[in-house]
């Protein structure tokens, strides 16, 4: 049903839940172990920890209790890690038994336990943990549990004693398993480790964090320590999903929809993969051995917030394409001569840019493929900007590679920008195109350089000279548009020429703006030195551009460094030389220069406002 | 394990899978129904349909076969829709039986079938479909199946006859259910509908689309027809997950990790929620009654692409905040007088803007809350831009509401922009703040207006006059900066004054740019008429601004309409009147005007480039 949220904040909601179920007295404390009967039957605590490490809690969330059967899920994970899933599968099946938690449920012929969540399977799982003896195995189990919980854990000796001295049924199971040779050696040894493992003391907060670690792909979201290898996380969650709540498991997934595990100690932990771990402590159990209030709380959270692992969300397919534009609408920060700029406005539509975001999974990549398929007709270049992509998983990477392959086969050029963070994807693409005569271009860390690269290719393709070659003499400078020959000579007489070698600083950030420059040849970059001491390129100018014009206006300082990218030659103007009001010729020249400057600025402004509209559309 | 992708495209991959398993001859065709034994044992087809409706297929993907037990999942969904989950639960449990597909598995005392995927449960589900008789029920079932498959379906009469005449075990089950009064009335009636339902003919492509419909929250991704109410989708998927593959279900979720259902007809359908439906047709079955090649194909797809429903993805937590900036860095498109603009650069940091994207689920909203908690200290306004948000689910909406509540309690002002598409969320917030003296501001469809609103509040808070009140006389116009009294008089003599009423067009898009305007009082908007005939506001100017300056330069046309927003008074300049080279006073004036204009343009350009950097960061 659509979720009815009766809360002003999740913490407040948890507090309400706590109050709502505080007086519930249904069910009884487990008594099959004398010591368990001594706990406070009415203790009640809960905690929720998100995958970004935010902790919500209410009630006795820090009261220690014995983990009991909840340990089965985590120890099974260790067994999978130590022996590999194949070897573990020979000893423990993963089928729900449809029977109670203490059922023996062994496979008729082989004696293989039906799953690792029943005692028989759990004892076998404990025996599969690396370690030369019970003590070593237990040490490893404890250490792993501590990675999940993010703090040192201990064993309750009284509970252990009680389990050991009264665990006749488990002892019988262990010997039966030995008889089938599912257990090797002395069955008392894994049995003892199992008893101790069940007596490990945790709190609801610990359990919620342990669950959040599974929700977070096996990495503790607070300590950032990995507790379980990523590939095994789905396996552990799968067994919790099908067998975690004993013979209530089917109803649990139907109604709550979160892999979970309960223990007769009164704890229950539920995991919403990718979102959070939720844990409750309340010792009164129902007939199936599950915490009454534990089930009630988890059902409420799932129902009230509509949180169910099988609830469909389609984030992946939607938010993947952050923005789409062509080089006709947005240009690189390389300021080109007017002819080139006009040519790019005319031909820029031939290059499509896709700004991607989020996680590129199968369907996300599928959406990109369809988007591109529709949009690439009549275009020759595709730029994929991955700078904001969090991850490219293998299905997504494979489809993107396929897309690039098809485009390249069709004679198009594909450029990938901002892929530095995605080594595996880059590697896969490199391998895929290895030895082919055409491959995607991967050289650009930021999209600006990629745009510049494609702009150069477009200009090449229509036979315009590259900016490296251009010489723009004074009479061709846009700033001199419409000057008569004598005005040009006058202007030249006011200028001096300068040249710089690559890397030389022409203007430095912060210093007074004293000169205006006309770029005759070469290319300069405008760059900022950031707090991290790295240089950030804001843009670059090529021959024919005016820069530093703020010197024409009173008391400006340079807002950035201007540095020669190549060998550079400049015309330099000292604005003071235009300040001769008595001289009508200079006044007229000045008027024309400012008129041209105003027109150039206006063009650039119109252009910039257009880009802002495109980028914020 | 990390997925090993051996493919250049998913289609190519499917073709490879097809080739790899084509010669597999393991298993036997079901023969418990004579007619089933007559199918082509070696037929082999597969299809995958994504939630965005893309279809991949290979082999005999269009060969019809009888749906058999696969119908159980879809008919169960109809029963849930017609009777409600509670009533259905009285008649059918949802626990895995751990037993074979034809096991009777009734609850000892009540006779309630263990789950709807065994024959007993399925016959009961069929009996719970609305309809006064078997014919009506079947009609409804067929119609629903057609919504899933997106095309008319038919029943194979020979298969039906064969089932009916030899289904002794099912007939026994039906009468047993009647005995327990789980079935009411004549048990032959639902039994007959069940036999017919199992004989419905589908293809692998149909099944993949049916699965994609479940993956797509119950909506057929090709026809956009809803086949199952959204809240019931997780329930159907849950039962498929725990009971769909008979007594192989646990292993299936462990290894393949997709809710699935198989049928003795040789079909199997698997669903990856939010991603796709995958179906295989291959009649040779294993001992558990599952298609041998069907399992092999699904296992390969899951393994090779690492696709498992319990595999953690964290898209929701990452890509939710698309951009963050303050009003010191980005301003609204309302061009204000210089004092106000400078004040906003100084005080704009007090307003934080969050551009959100994707689907706002629980953890996504949690991320927003933490981001805001860190970022709001020393700020007074928060603007949330929801224009790019696809959906706000209830957990996310509840947390956002909580966040707003806390901020408003702390005396901050919250403005929500672009929330038109999220009616339920708006409604929930309205209800939550109903009757409170402070509530979030929801009035702005686009973020630009929201920015403008907050800018006004900031200026108010520092006691600057609102732009509505300002009169900017000629001597105060920025364009006249530094003009001597006589120059000002000269300039005034070149101008004429105009006024417009709200809505009057001052310049029209496309017409020649003939005059330059100085805005003395009021406000004008720059707007484009889009293809859809709607007007799009590009920006607006207030008193003190120059507009239409392109008239100063040869042959420009108006690139947009300029329309009076309020009562407006203007100074209008005909550029021709500055063209008197003989007149030194006018030449000097012109020089100063262009100098001022160039400086204004430069300021605006620097500002625009800064915004571009902020918006593309």
A290-348 confidence digits (pLDDT tens): 999 999 999 998 887 777 888 765 444 456 787 889 999 888 888 888 788 889 999 99
Q: How many angstroms separate the Cα of A37 from the Cα of each of A28, A192, A294, B180? A: 9, 21, 18, 40
C-alpha–C-alpha distance, residues B43 and B65, integer Å: 10
* Minimum CA–CA partner of B602 in chain A: A601
- B394 & B484 share domain: no
> Residue A615 — pLDDT band, cuts 50, 70, 90?
low
User: Is B312 a domain residue?
Assistant: no
Q: How many angstroms separate the Cα of A200 from the Cα of each of A77, A139, A145, B228? A: 17, 12, 9, 45
Closest CA to B36 of B169, B123, B142, B166: B166
- Top pLDDT among B569 and A387 is at B569
- Top pLDDT among B363 and A24 is at A24
Which of A234, A364, A613 would you mutate first to test chain B, the one with the most B CBs within 10 A? A234
**Chain A residues with beta carbon closer than 8 angstroms to that of B233:** 310-312
Is there a contact between B123 and B190 (Cβ–Cβ < 8 Å)? yes
**From A365-374, A420-429, B332-341, the region with the lowest mean pLDDT:** A365-374
DSSP strands (E only) in B111-264: 154-155, 200-202, 260-262
Question: How many other β-carbons are positioned within 10 Å of the β-carbon of residue B594?
Answer: 24
C-alpha–C-alpha distance, residues B73 and B92, integer Å: 13
Token pair belonging to A176 = 């039966």
Does the CA dihedral A20-A23-A27-A32 come out positive or negative? Answer: positive
Give yes or no for A319 touching B (CB within 8 A): yes
- B235 & B282 share domain: yes
- A260 & A326 share domain: no
Quote the pLDDT of residue A213.
96
* Minimum CA–CA partner of A396 in chain B: B305
Helix pair angle (A168-179, A119-127), 10° resolution: 60
Quote the percentage of chain A above a pLDDT of 90. 55
> Residue A353 — pLDDT band, cuts 50, 70, 90?
very high
Closest CA to A180 of A106, A119, A122: A106
C-alpha–C-alpha distance, residues A426 and B467, integer Å: 54
- B521 & B455 share domain: no
C-alpha–C-alpha distance, residues A517 and A574, integer Å: 9
DSSP-assigned beta bridge partners for residue A326 = A352
**Chain B residues with beta carbon closer than 8 angstroms to that of A310:** 233-234, 237-238, 241, 259, 273, 309
> Is B119 one of the annotated binding-site residues?
yes
Give yes or no for B388 touching A (CB within 8 A): yes
Mean pLDDT across B156-174: 92
C-alpha–C-alpha distance, residues A398 and A364, integer Å: 12
Quote the pLDDT of residue B533.
61
Is B115 within 8 Å of A250 when comparing Cβ atoms? yes
Catalytic residue among B13, B246, B325, B453: B246
User: Is A533 a domain residue?
Assistant: yes
Structural domains in chain A (count): 3
Token pair belonging to B330 = 């980005």
Which residue in this structure is represented by tokens 């409750």?
A: A280
User: Is A65 a domain residue?
Assistant: yes
**Chain B residues with beta carbon closer than 8 angstroms to that of A394:** 2-5, 305-306
- B280 & B409 share domain: no
A-facing residues of B in 525-584 (CB < 8 A) are: 538-539, 549-550, 552-553, 559, 581, 584
Helix pair angle (A233-243, B233-243), 10° resolution: 100
Q: Of B363, B402, B612, which has the smallest distance from its Cβ to A52's Cβ?
A: B363
B-facing residues of A in 249-308 (CB < 8 A) are: 249-251, 253-254, 257, 259, 273-276, 305-308
Closest CA to A288 of A25, A41, A27: A27
Closest CA to B151 of B234, B73, B68, B209: B209
User: Is A52 a domain residue?
Assistant: yes
Token pair belonging to B587 = 């030449």
- A26 & A130 share domain: yes
Is there a contact between B384 and B363 (Cβ–Cβ < 8 Å)? no
> Is B541 one of the annotated binding-site residues?
no
User: Is A569 a domain residue?
Assistant: yes
Q: Return the CATH number at B112.
A: 3.40.710.10
Q: Is the pLDDT score of A252 beyond 60?
A: yes
- B488 & B411 share domain: no
**From A524-538, B361-375, B385-399, B501-515, the region with the lowest mean pLDDT:** A524-538
Segment B35-50, tens digit of pLDDT:
888 899 999 999 999 8
Q: Is the pLDDT score of B316 beyond 70?
A: no
- HSE-CB of B98 using CA atoms within 13 angstroms: 19
C-alpha–C-alpha distance, residues B409 and B403, integer Å: 10
Quote the pLDDT of residue A8.
41
- Top pLDDT among A574 and B311 is at A574
Q: Return the CATH number at B410.
A: 3.30.750.24
Quote the pLDDT of residue A539.
81
Segment A94-103, tens digit of pLDDT:
998 767 666 7
Is there a contact between B377 and B349 (Cβ–Cβ < 8 Å)? no
Backbone angles phi, psi at B335, to 5 degrees: -80, 115
Segment B236-284, tens digit of pLDDT:
999 999 999 888 889 999 999 999 999 999 999 999 988 899 999 999 9
- A333 & A431 share domain: yes
> Residue B71 — pLDDT band, cuts 50, 70, 90?
very high
Is B405 within 8 Å of A594 when comparing Cβ atoms? no
The per-residue pLDDT of chain A, averaged, comes to: 88
C-alpha–C-alpha distance, residues B390 and B356, integer Å: 10
Give yes or no for A587 touching B (CB within 8 A): yes
Give me the DSSP letters along A536-547.
Answer: EEEEEEETT-EE
Segment B114-134, tens digit of pLDDT:
999 999 999 999 999 999 888
Give yes or no for A61 touching B (CB within 8 A): no
C-alpha–C-alpha distance, residues B93 and B116, integer Å: 7
C-alpha–C-alpha distance, residues A441 and B84, integer Å: 56
Is there a contact between B118 and B97 (Cβ–Cβ < 8 Å)? yes
Mean pLDDT across A123-133: 95
- B264 noted as active-site residue: yes
Q: Is the pLDDT score of B374 beyond 90?
A: no
- Top pLDDT among A108 and A471 is at A471
C-alpha–C-alpha distance, residues A549 and A478, integer Å: 14
Q: What is the pTM of this model?
A: 0.76
> Residue A1 — pLDDT band, cuts 50, 70, 90?
very low
- A202 & A121 share domain: yes
Quote the pLDDT of residue A6.
34
Q: Return the CATH number at A601.
A: 2.60.120.10
- A164 & A250 share domain: yes
DSSP-assigned beta bridge partners for residue B279 = B47, B269
Give the structural domain span for B254: 9-307
Listed residues B307, B334, B361: the one ending a domain: B307
Mean pLDDT across A31-55: 89
Q: Is the pLDDT score of B103 beyond 80?
A: no
Helix, strand, coil percentages for chain A (3-state, nearest 5): 45, 20, 35
* Minimum CA–CA partner of B333 in chain A: A609
Q: Is the pLDDT score of B584 beyond 90?
A: no
In three-state form (DSSP H/G/I as H, E/B as E, the rest C), the secondary structure along A317-369 is HHCCEEEEEECCCCCCCEECCHHHHHHHHHHHHHEEEEEEEEEECHHHHHHHH
Listed residues A461, A490, A507: the one ending a domain: A461
Give yes or no for A229 touching B (CB within 8 A): no
C-alpha–C-alpha distance, residues B247 and A193, integer Å: 31
Is there a contact between B338 and B467 (Cβ–Cβ < 8 Å)? no
Burial class (CB in 10 A: 0-12, 13-18, 19+), A493: exposed
| A372 min Cα distance to partner chain B (Å) | 14
Listed residues A461, A489, A509: the one ending a domain: A461
- Top pLDDT among A213 and A37 is at A213
Is there a contact between A455 and A327 (Cβ–Cβ < 8 Å)? yes
User: Is A520 a domain residue?
Assistant: yes
Q: Is the pLDDT score of B313 beyond 60?
A: no
- B387 & B420 share domain: yes
> Residue B156 — pLDDT band, cuts 50, 70, 90?
very high
C-alpha–C-alpha distance, residues A434 and B590, integer Å: 64
User: Is B466 a domain residue?
Assistant: no
- B69 noted as active-site residue: yes
Instruction: Measure CA of the first residue to CA of the last residue in chain B; give whole Å.
Output: 35
CA-based radius of gyration for chain B: 35
User: Is A313 a domain residue?
Assistant: no
- A287 & A334 share domain: no
Mean pLDDT across A518-546: 82
């Amino acid at each position: 049903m659509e979720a009815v949220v009766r809360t002003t904040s999740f913490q407040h909601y948890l507090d309400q839940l706590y109050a709502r179920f505080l007086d519930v007295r249904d069910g009884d404390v487990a008594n099959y172990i004398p010591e368990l009967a001594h706990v406070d039957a009415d203790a009640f605590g809960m905690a929720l920890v998100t995958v970004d490490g935010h902790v919500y809690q209410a009630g006795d969330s820090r009261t220690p209790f014995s983990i009991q059967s909840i340990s089965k899920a985590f120890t099974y994970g260790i067994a999978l890690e130590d022996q590999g899933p194949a070897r573990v599968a020979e000893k423990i099946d993963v089928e729900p038994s449809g029977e109670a938690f203490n059922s023996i449920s062994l496979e008729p012929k082989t004696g293989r336990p039906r799953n690792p969540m029943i005692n028989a399977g759990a004892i076998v799982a404990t025996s599969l943990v690396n370690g030369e003896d019970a003590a070593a195995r237990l040490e490893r189990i404890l250490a792993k549990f501590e990675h999940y919980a993010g703090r040192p854990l201990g064993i309750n000796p009284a509970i252990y004693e009680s389990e050991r001295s009264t665990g006749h049924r488990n002892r019988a199971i262990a010997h039966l398993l030995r008889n089938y040779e599912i257990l090797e050696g002395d069955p008392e040894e894994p049995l003892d480790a199992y008893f101790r493992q069940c007596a490990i003391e945790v709190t609801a907060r610990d359990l919620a964090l342990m669950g959040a670690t599974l929700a977070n792909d096996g990495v503790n979201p607070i300590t950032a320590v990995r507790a379980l290898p990523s590939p095994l996380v789905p396996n552990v969650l799968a067994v919790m999903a099908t067998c975690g709540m004993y013979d209530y498991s089917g109803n649990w997934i139907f109604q709550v929809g979160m892999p979970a595990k309960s223990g007769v100690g009164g704890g229950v932990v539920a995991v919403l993969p990718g979102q959070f771990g939720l844990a409750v402590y309340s010792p009164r159990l129902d007939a199936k051995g599950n915490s009454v209030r534990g089930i009630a709380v988890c059902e409420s959270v799932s129902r009230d917030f509509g949180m169910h692992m099988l609830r469909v969300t389609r984030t992946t397919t939607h938010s993947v394409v952050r923005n789409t534009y062509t080089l006709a609408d947005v240009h690189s920060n390389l300021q080109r001569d007017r002819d080139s700029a006009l040519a790019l406005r005319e031909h820029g539509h031939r290059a499509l840019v896709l700004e991607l975001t989020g996680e590129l999974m199968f369907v996300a990549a599928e959406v990109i493929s369809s988007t591109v398929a529709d949009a690439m007709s009549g275009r020759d270049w595709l730029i994929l900007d991955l700078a904001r992509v969090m991850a490219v998983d293998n299905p997504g990477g494979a489809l993107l590679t396929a897309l690039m392959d098809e485009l390249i086969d069709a004679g198009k050029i594909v450029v990938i920008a901002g892929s530095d963070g995605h080594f595996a994807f880059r590697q896969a693409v490199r391998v895929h195109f290895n030895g082919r005569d055409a491959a995607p271009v991967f050289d650009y860390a930021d999209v600006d350089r990629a745009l510049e690269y494609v702009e150069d290719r477009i200009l090449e393709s229509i036979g315009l000279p590259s900016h490296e070659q251009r010489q723009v003499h004074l009479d061709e400078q846009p700033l001199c548009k419409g000057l008569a020959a004598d005005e040009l000579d006058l202007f030249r007489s006011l200028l001096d020429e300068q040249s710089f070698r690559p890397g030389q600083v022409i203007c430095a950030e912060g210093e007074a703006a004293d000169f205006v420059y006309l770029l005759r040849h070469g290319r300069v970059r405008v760059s900022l030195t950031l707090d991290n001491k790295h240089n950030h390129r804001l843009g670059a100018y090529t021959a024919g551009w005016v820069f530093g014009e703020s010197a024409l206006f009173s008391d400006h300082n340079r807002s950035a460094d201007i540095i020669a990218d190549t060998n550079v030659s400049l015309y330099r103007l000292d604005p003071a030389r235009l300040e001769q009001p008595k001289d009508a010729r200079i006044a007229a020249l000045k008027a024309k220069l400012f008129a041209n400057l105003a027109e150039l600025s206006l063009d650039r402004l119109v252009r910039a406002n257009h880009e802002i509209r495109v980028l914020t559309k």
